[in-house]
Amino acid sequence: MGENMTDATYMAETQEYDAEFGDYVDLLKPRVMRLVIFTAAVGLFTAPVAVHPIIAFATILCIAIGAGASGALNMWWDADIDAIMKRTTSRPIPSGRVTRGEALAIGLTLSFMSVMMLGLFGNLFAAGLLAFTMFFYAVVYSMWLKRSTPHNIVIGGAAGAFPPMIGWAVATGGVSIESILMFALIFIWTPPHFWALALFRNEDYKAAKIPMLPVTSGTRVTRRHILAYSVLLVPIAIAPAFTQIGGPLYFAVAIAFNAVFLFGAFRLWQRNDEVADADTYRAEKRFFMFSILYLFVHFVALLAEAALRALDLGFANWPVWF
């Protein structure tokens, strides 16, 4: 650094592009954050303990920022493979808008702050659960499993399944069968959802040398796994209907959407690469898109049941088995 150089001139000369605020927001994976906000809110509002709206807002914000922080740490760690895959080349680091150092700094700072603030706004159990979720996503999934096993998404899916459990913990201070079932729903839904994506993005994962199931074991095995997990998902998705947070509306939604999901998985199992290539993976893409709607609708139904109970419109004689 020159004798008369200030830190400002140093920064100006070493960095060609200055990140805008929106680039830092992109680092937090806003689309993933939206899903986290929604599922955490459902966990919080379906819980049998009322939470003040401002506390609810503040704690959901902490959970969302915590999820964003682990997204930033994931982008810091995966910058090399993000630059190879088409789906991720426009992310802030590979596109040159944000440096890796900035991503690490933002990820660590927001991780620490979100856990600390959730502990203060909510309770220590919820904060601990958030810290574990971030550790699971950034370290267990991103750093360890993602590049080492074709079952990366099976175990890593747990990170995305924790938010409703954290929302529930904010209200109740603990864990119960309802929050475990909400966790299980997202956990078992994640593999078929991502394997459907991997089927039509196989070349991307191959190029980045990520051992996704279609890369390591072929698409036949992947299609079989999608069907198996979809079958396993059915009882898990229906079970919340017979808990304190369920009801006839949720039951009806779960039956209808699981029937369509299962049929979609069965169709994927029947198809092979030649058929899929011929129609540019139409069924796989539709299954992937439907899986997003599937999860969204299940959580909307739980929220609707909570609203009905709050308005005293719940079904009084509905069986509660769990």
Binding positions for other proteins, rule: CB under 8 A: 4, 6, 8-9, 11-12, 18-21, 52, 54-55, 58, 61, 120-121
CA–CA separation, 246 and 232 (whole Å): 19
- From the CB of 4, what's the least distance to other proteins, in Å? 5
CB of 109 to other proteins, least distance (A): 12
Q: How far is the CB of 50 from other proteins (least distance, A)?
A: 12
User: Based on CB atoms, which residue is closest to other proteins, 66 or 214?
Assistant: 66
Q: 10 Å Cβ neighbour count for 121?
A: 19
CA angle 303, 245, 41 (to 5 degrees): 40
The residues near 277 (Cβ < 8 Å, ≥ 6 apart) are: none
Minimum Å gap between C-beta 301 and other proteins is: 30
Nearer to other proteins, 9 or 270 (CB): 9
CB 106 → other proteins: shortest distance, Å?
11
Q: Which is nearer to other proteins, 7 or 274 (CB)?
A: 7
Smallest distance, Å, CB 54 to other proteins? 5
Least Å distance between CB 113 and other proteins? 9
Closest separation in Å from C-beta 23 to other proteins: 9
- What is the 3-state secondary structure of the chain? CCCCCCHHHHHHHHCCCCCCHHHHHHHCCHHHHHHHHHHHHHHHHHCCCCCCHHHHHHHHHHHHHHHHHHHHHHHHHCHHHHCCCHHHCCCCCCCCCCCHHHHHHHHHHHHHHHHHHHHHHCCHHHHHHHHHHHHHHHHHHHHHHCCCCCCHHHHHHHHHHHHHHHHHHHHHCCCCHHHHHHHHHHHHHHHHHHHHHHHHCHHHHHHCCCCCHHHHHCHHHHHHHHHHHHHHHHHHHHHHHHCCCCCHHHHHHHHHHHHHHHHHHHHHHHCCHHHHHHCCCHHHHHHHHHHHHHHHHHHHHHHHHHHHHHCCCCCCCCCCCC
Closest to other proteins by CB, 110 or 236: 110
- Closer CB to other proteins, 54 or 311, in the complex: 54
Between residues 4 and 280, which has the closer beta carbon with respect to other proteins? 4
- Half-sphere exposure (CA, 13 Å, Cβ side) for 251? 11
Q: Minimum CB separation from other proteins for residue 260, in Å? A: 41
In the bound state with other proteins, the residue whose beta carbon lies nearer, of 18 and 312, is 18
Nearer to other proteins, 25 or 256 (CB): 25
Residue closer to other proteins by CB (options 6, 272) is 6
| Structural contact between residues 73 and 32, judged by C-beta atoms closer than 8 angstroms | no
